[in-house]
């Protein structure tokens, strides 16, 4: 049940939802691209990305000095409410 509550919180915030839609559309984005597209501050975006990563919807990879965000490889496990 706690897992379901965490997921609902992620999807209930309009900014987190916009971030997810952007990542879904672009497939891979860095924080600066999200900030520029959504016209929001970097600390604000980073806080939301952390919350989304905590429920395993997004994953990140380091490419040089950039952190690239994408959807998790196995999203089915993310939405398994029986865990």
List the domains of the chain with CATH numbers: 13-72 (1.10.10.10)
Q: What is the DSSP letter of 27?
A: S
What value does the mean pLDDT take over residues 31-43? 93
Residue with tokens 């496990």: 77
67, 34 contact by CB (below 8 A): no
pLDDT digits (tens, 9 = 90+) for 38-51: 999 999 999 999 99
**Which has the closest alpha carbon to 22: 56, 55, 48, 61?**
48
Token pair of 25 as six digits: 């559309």
Q: How confident is the model at residue 81 (pLDDT cuts 50, 70, 90)?
A: very low
Residue with tokens 């016209």: 39
Give pLDDT, residue 31: 92
Distance CA 1, CA 59 (A): 23
What value does the mean pLDDT take over residues 57-69? 91
């Amino acid at each position: 049940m706690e897992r379901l509550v965490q997921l609902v919180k992620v999807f209930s915030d309009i900014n987190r939802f916009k971030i997810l839609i952007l990542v879904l559309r672009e497939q891979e984005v860095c924080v600066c691209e999200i900030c520029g597209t959504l016209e929001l501050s970097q600390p604000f975006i980073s806080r939301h990305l952390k919350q989304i990563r905590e429920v395993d919807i997004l994953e990140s990879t380091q490419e040089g000095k950039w952190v690239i965000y994408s959807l998790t490889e196995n999203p089915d496990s993310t939405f398994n409410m029986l865990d």
